[in-house]
Structure 1
Amino acid sequence: MSKKATKALNNPYYIARYNASKNNPNLTSREKTAEILNIDRTRLSRIELGMSVPYPEEVLAMADVYEIPELCNMYCSGECAIGRETVKPINADSLDRLILQFLGSSQKMEDITEQLINITSDGIVDEGELEQFDSVLSELEKMSVNIQSLMMWAKKNKDSIMSKRGN
């Protein structure tokens, strides 16, 4: 893949294939890639040009073949109607930043636990506790995103981690 397809430059699926082709020469052409993904070449072209939204199973195949697991999160949090409501976008780029975010979240865990106990000790969440309960839920959601981001980084970098252990 010596030159970039100008019509697809901003498409994340094209960018993912382009980046993956640097390590896998079988992904340099849409024809070969479509064969590997087991989809029609024109369908891959329409996806990469933004004319078609990929099916979930196509995104799974791309994430696996391109070795870019964050494609699944991008699809679920941005393109899937259900996912847009339930899945938060995650960023798995920088390990040091992810660790700091995780540690920051985990330091709040004791306080969150105490708040949850206080709010729910009577078995209900009453009107006066709703704002505090929403705040706790917001912190838990941030923690969840931090954990998922760290896990995504580990999944994405597992092979390089394992190869360094072997040396």
Structure 2
Amino acid sequence: MSKKATKAADNIYYKARMEAAATNDKLNSREGAAELLGIDRTRLAHIELDSVCAYPEEILMMSEIYNTPEIENYYCCEQCPIGKHNVPRLEVVEIDRLTIGILSSLKDVTSIKESLIEIVADGVITEDEKPQLEYVLDSLERISIEAQKLKLWAQKNLKLII
């Protein structure tokens, strides 16, 4: 077995590879991982050392081979110039914590629905309705994030393609 890389120890792609190495011995080395990914070992080293940014295609391959859909989210919200502005950071959590988060985000759904109807009923959004609309949008964003977390959990734990 190869020794652990100390310089890359905090890199998400290195951590994902090491986690996956528990079920695929070939991933214990950069050489084996690079072969499976179809990229050069040196390029993988640079990615894991944060010397270069991975290409989206490489992230997709890593995600599939390492069974870590969370690195796709990481790439989109931390490294993609467009995603940095509008992709929320998600983490894979246990199903019990996830369920509580979902239920919490849905607790006010009836009042959100009623507020939205009230705001748009006349077809005009007035200045005094804007704070109420912001609340509705924030609530919908929380629901959306919880739904995305459930999707991420299902992709990782049930290997569902969603």
TM over 0.5: yes
Which residue number corresponds to residue 53 of structure 1? 53
TM superposition score normalised by structure 1: 0.91
Does 2:80 match 1:80? yes
Give RMSD over aligned pairs: 1.1
Which residue number corresponds to residue 96 of structure 2? 96
Q: CA deviation at 1:2?
A: 4.8
What code does the residue aligned with 2:157 have? Answer: N
Between the aligned residues of both structures, percent identity stands at 46
Q: Which runs of 5+ in 1 are unaligned?
A: 160-167
Q: CA deviation at 1:152?
A: 0.8
Q: Distance in 1 between matches of 2:106 and 2:70?
A: 23
Q: Distance in 2 between matches of 1:37 and 1:128?
A: 55
What code does the residue aligned with 2:81 have? Answer: A
Which residue number corresponds to residue 129 of structure 2? 129
Q: Distance in 2 between matches of 1:2 and 1:16?
A: 16
Residue range with higher mean Cα deviation, 84-93 or 57-66: 84-93
Does 2:65 match 1:65? yes
Which residue number corresponds to residue 41 of structure 1? 41
- Structure with more helix by fraction: 1
Deviations 1:85-111 (A, max 9, x none): 111011222110110110111221111
Residue range with higher mean Cα deviation, 6-15 or 119-128: 119-128
TM superposition score normalised by structure 2: 0.94
What code does the residue aligned with 1:40 have? Answer: D
Q: Give the aligned length.
A: 159
Q: CA deviation at 1:124?
A: 2.1
Deviations 1:87-140 (A, max 9, x none): 101122211011011011122111111110011111121211111111110111
Q: Distance in 1 between matches of 2:57 and 2:10?
A: 22
Q: Distance in 2 between matches of 1:125 and 1:37?
A: 52
What code does the residue aligned with 1:155 have? Answer: Q
**Which runs of structure 2 are paired with 1:122-161 in the superposition (5 Å)?**
122-158=122-158
Q: Distance in 2 between matches of 1:7 and 1:157?
A: 29
Q: SS in structure 2 opposite 1:45?
A: helix
Q: SS in structure 1 opposite 2:16?
A: helix
**Which runs of structure 2 are paired with 1:16-27 in the superposition (5 Å)?**
16-27=16-27
